[in-house]
Structure formats: structure tokens, C-alpha cells
Structure 1
Amino acid sequence: MRPASSPLRLLLLACLLTPALSGCRYAYVPLIPKAVEVTLPARVTTAALTREGEALVLRARVEGRFEPGYLSVAWFDGPRDLGRDSVYLDAAQRDATFRLPVPKPGAYRAVISFGGTVLRQVELYEVQP
């Protein structure tokens, strides 16, 4: 009878050790993930190019976090460069208005940049480009 009880003991020992020998481990997954820090660059939220009499007027507003610096505009009539201008902006002054005297109708563009990065282009087509 001795040999018959040995497989029974071995089976009982295996059943008791099965939970310890299984490969299950506790995996920690946080229920609330860490907050994501996002810093958006400066952006032009409002920009309009209009004609007022014999001048082009560009009005622009810069939003977001930015270091004080110059908002620049480059004026074009089709491919022809008409000139450049800039205004110093800081946290208190976020709006800028630019004027360019041009008596004749044209296909005008104004390219707005801040800190050397082009932010927006606005167009006013009074004639076909």
C-alpha cells in the first residue's frame, strides 16, 4: 500500500504549490494618469487685411505665452516685395495695427511673423493675381 499513497501525496503537494508556482504577478496601473503639461507657442488668433482709402491696414492679435518681442509683417503685391514693418509686443500689448500706403488696387499679401517664425498670411485680392 505504500506505493499507492505516494502518488496521492505527490498530487496533493502539487495542488498546494500550484498558486505559488503560477506566473501571475500583480500589475500596477495608475487609475489617474499624471497631468500633461502643454506649452503652446504664440499664435495669431485674429488677423484682417483691409483697405482704408489709399492705405492697406492690417490688424492682428497674438495669444498664448510668449516672451516679449517684435511682431513683424512683410508686405507683397503678387511676387513683388513692398516693404516690412514691426511692432513690439508684450503681455500687456497683444494687438498690433500696421499701415501701408498703396494708391492702386492689387493682389496684396501680408506675412505675419513673431520671433522669426511665420505665424500667418492674410490676403486681399482687389485684382486677379
Structure 2
Amino acid sequence: MVRPSPTLRPLLLAGLLLPLLVGCRYTYLPLIPAPAEVALPTRVTSAALTREGGALVLRARVEGRFEPGYLSVAWFDSGRELGRDSVYLDAAQREATFRLEAPEAGAYRAVLAFGGNVLRQVELYEVEP
């Protein structure tokens, strides 16, 4: 039996392993995946509660995919409910402005809901709660 020289052994080993090494390559097709479709839930992207004279003004903007419906607000002074209001929103009308007459300073909260889901709470503290 003929034995290969010590200098040829690594070459012989590499030649025997070459078919295995060629099989270990990235073969997933397509190389560029299809674009992912993302359906973001309805969300309030901006909401601000401010005082304008003797009234509280809440401005809100709703983003995401949603069926047309009512954005509602519940007004609170500390733990006491002051009132409720709603505005109809659709794809063309995504912003709403709510007003509440509140001549005295207080710890006011406004809770925004759309489709029965509470989306955001905004607060305006003019006195200690």
C-alpha cells in the first residue's frame, strides 16, 4: 500500500471534504423577500388638553386603519365625571376638537375611546389632585 507524503495529506483531505463544503452555502430563494404588510391598530398619535379662557380644549388625531366611527371623550375633575362628548371620524376626517366649559381651576382628565377601546388619557393639573 502506498502512503501519501505528509505534505500531500492536507490537500487530499481538502479534496475529499470539498463536496461537503460546497453543499453548505446559502440557497434560499428569493433572495429579496416579499414586502411585509403591516396593519397598525387604531391609535391616538397626538392629544393635547389646554385651557382657553373659561373652557378646556382637547385636540386629538387618530391614525391607523379603522372603520368609521365615533371618537368619544369622558371629562373628569379629580374623580368626578363632568360630561361626555363624541365626534364622528372617517378616513377623510381624522382630527377632533372637544370643548368643555370649566371656569374654575381643577385637576382635569380626558379619556379618549374609539370603538369601545380606551386609547389615551390626557391630564391638565391646575391644582393638586
- Flag whether TM exceeds 0.5 (same fold): yes
CA distance in 2, matches of 1:60, 1:27: 49
Deviation for aligned residue 1:99: 0.8
TM-score calculated relative to the size of structure 1: 0.76
User: Which residue of structure 2 aligns with residue 29 of structure 1?
Assistant: 28
Q: Partners of 1:95 and 1:76 in 2: how far apart?
A: 21
Q: Which has the higher helix share?
A: 1
Deviation sequence 1:63-85 (CA, Å, 0-9, x none):
22211100010111111111111
Match of 1:121 in 2: 121
Percentage of identical aligned residues:
73
Runs of 4+ aligned residues of structure 1 deviating over 4 Å after TM superposition are 24-28
1:28 CA drift (Å): 4.2
> In angstroms, what is the RMSD of aligned CA positions?
2.7
Any unmatched runs of 5+ in structure 2?
Answer: 2-15
* Equivalent residue number for residue 68 of structure 1: 68
> How far apart in 1 are the matches of 2:99 and 2:71?
14
TM-score by length of 2: 0.76
In the aligned structure 1, how far is the partner of 2:26 from the partner of 2:49? Answer: 58
Aligned partner letter, 2:28: V
Extract unaligned runs of 5+ from structure 1. 5-17
Greater Rg by CA: 1
Decide whether aligned partners of structure 1 residues 104 and 36 sit closer, same or farther in structure 2, where only a CA change above 3 A counts: same
